[in-house]
Amino acid sequence: MENKVIDIQDISKVYQVGTQTVHALRSITLEIKKNEYVALMGPSGSGKSTLMNILGCLDTPTTGSYQLSGQDVSKMEDNQLATIRNKEIGFVFQTFNLMPRYTALENVALPLIYAGKKKEERDARGAEVLTMVDLANRMDHKPNELSGGQRQRVAVARALVNHPSIILADEPTGNLDTKTSHEIMGLFEEIHSNGNTIILVTHEEDIAQHAHRIVRLRDGLIESDEVNENPIKATQRV
């Protein structure tokens, strides 16, 4: 597969819980290329959260290899994984994970502090991505002064601020009403059209149907991996 951003080969993840051995993932092979829009689906216990943690460099596999943008991350130490996460992956979470005492701009610019950027550069880039998500007039607002949809837009802007190769969205509409969910999915469509790779982790079928490819997991295995011929087009920004 050309332009592979993710290449996972035969990975497994085994946990020891007391005397019980839990096989969370069993011999998973998965390739995702640049600018794909993929949904990972599966019921509780399917392994999708474990796979998400490995894809996001929050955990490492027990066996197998993981190449992320050409780098073997499957054997990296925690500090190396932290560097890779900050550079390569933008995270969007169900609970937004914003710092309550920081403004929208300060929240968005936070990853750039860890990247060693100067304040002037951080503020300029933060303002740029907040404008991209239609929050130019909310930069100085704190999270409690924003709606749920606006908070998620801040989270999306933060995910984009470091020019990541992948946007990893974990149940990004889980705390939003239907109308706002459609707006956020419309935003992901725009981000995808601008060239980003998007991996959407969800248990909601209607949200997964926005993706162009749907990978379903069950019992630690890939049950199916299919192209979505007719992805749902979300309501665009209003």
Q: Classify residue 225 as exposed, middle or buried by CB count within 10 Å of its CB (0-12, 13-18, 19+).
A: middle
pTM above 0.85, yes or no: yes
Residues 6+ apart with CB under 8 A from 175: 94, 95, 96, 148, 152
Are the beta carbons of 138 and 150 closer than 8 angstroms? yes
Q: What is the pLDDT of residue 175?
A: 87
Rg (CA), the chain: 18
Q: What is the pLDDT of residue 235?
A: 52
Top-confidence residue, 94 or 9: 9
Q: For tokens 């926005």, what's the residue?
A: 210
**Using CA atoms in the order 205, 207, 208, 209, what is the torsion angle rounded to 10 degrees?**
90
Read off the pLDDT of each residue in 207-230 and give the average, rounded to a whole number.
96
Are the beta carbons of 232 and 210 closer than 8 angstroms? yes
Q: What is the pLDDT of residue 236?
A: 47
Give the number of other CB atoms < 10 A from CB of residue 10.
Answer: 12
* Residue 111 tokens, joined: 């990853």
Task: Report whether pLDDT(197) > 80.
Answer: yes
End-to-end CA distance of the chain: give it in Å, rounded. 37
pLDDT, tens digit, for every residue of 138-176? 999 999 999 999 999 999 999 999 999 899 999 999 889
pLDDT, tens digit, for every residue of 30-47? 999 999 999 999 988 899
Question: Which domains does the chain possess?
Answer: 4-227 (3.40.50.300)
* Residue 134 tokens, joined: 């239609």
Q: What's the CA gap between 4 and 32, in Å, rounded?
A: 6
